[in-house]
Amino acid sequence: MRRVIVAEFMTLDGVMEAPGFEEHPDGKNAWALRFQTPEMQQFIRDQFATTGAFLLGRRTYQIWAAFWPTAGGDEDFAKQMNDLPKYVVSKTLEEADWSNSTLIRGDPFEQIAELKRQPGKGILVEGSADLVAGLMEHDLVDEYQLLLFPVILGSGKHLFRDGIDLRPLSLVETRVFESGVVLLVYRPESEMPTSEYVETYSWSREQVRSMHAAENTDRVLATVLFTDVVDSTARAAELGDRQWRQLLDRHDQVSRAEVARWHGRFVKTTGDGLLATFDAPTRALRCAFGLQETMTPLGLEIRAAIHTGEVEMREDDVGGIGVHIASRALAEAGAREIIVTRTVRDLATGTDLDFRPRGSVGLRGIPGEWELFAASAR
* Residues 6+ away with beta carbon under 8 Å from 186: 143, 144, 146, 169, 170, 171, 172
At 157, which helix (H) or strand (E)?
A: none
pLDDT band at 34 (very low <50, low <70, confident <90, very high): very high
43 vs 213, more confident: 43
Which tens digit of pLDDT belongs to each residue from 286-315?
999 999 999 999 999 999 999 999 998 887
Per-residue pLDDT band for 316 (boundaries 50, 70, 90) equals confident
Residue-level pLDDT at 378: 83
Residue 363 confidence (pLDDT): 86
pLDDT higher than 80, residue 215: no
Q: What is the DSSP string of 190-215?
A: SS----HHHHHTPPPHHHHHHHHHHH
Helices 241-261 and 281-295 cross at an angle (nearest 10°) of 140
pLDDT confidence of residue 366:
85
pLDDT digits (tens, 9 = 90+) for 255-277: 999 999 999 999 999 888 999 99
Residue 31 CB neighbour total at 10 angstroms: 20
More confident residue, 222 or 315: 222
Q: What is the pLDDT of residue 64?
A: 94
pLDDT of residue 324: 93
CATH architecture of 4-188: 3-Layer(aba) Sandwich (3.40)
pLDDT over 80 at 346, yes or no: yes
Per-residue model confidence as pLDDT tens digits over 127-157: 999 999 999 999 999 999 999 999 999 999 9
Pairing of strands 318-319, 265-269: unpaired
Q: pTM for the full model? A: 0.65
CATH number of the domain located at residue range(s) 218-377 in this protein: 3.30.70.1230
Looking at every residue in the chain, the average pLDDT score rounds to: 92
pLDDT average, residue stretch 91-109: 90
Angle 331-334-339 (CA atoms, 0-180°, nearest 5)?
A: 70
> How does residue 116 score in pLDDT terms, banded at 50, 70 and 90?
very high
74-87 average pLDDT score: 89
Q: What is the model's pLDDT at position 24?
A: 86
> What was the pLDDT predicted at 166?
86
Give the C-alpha separation, 245 to 247, whole Å.
Answer: 5
Instruction: Delimit the domains of the chain by residue range.
Output: 4-188, 218-377
| Fold agreement between 4-188 and 218-377 | no
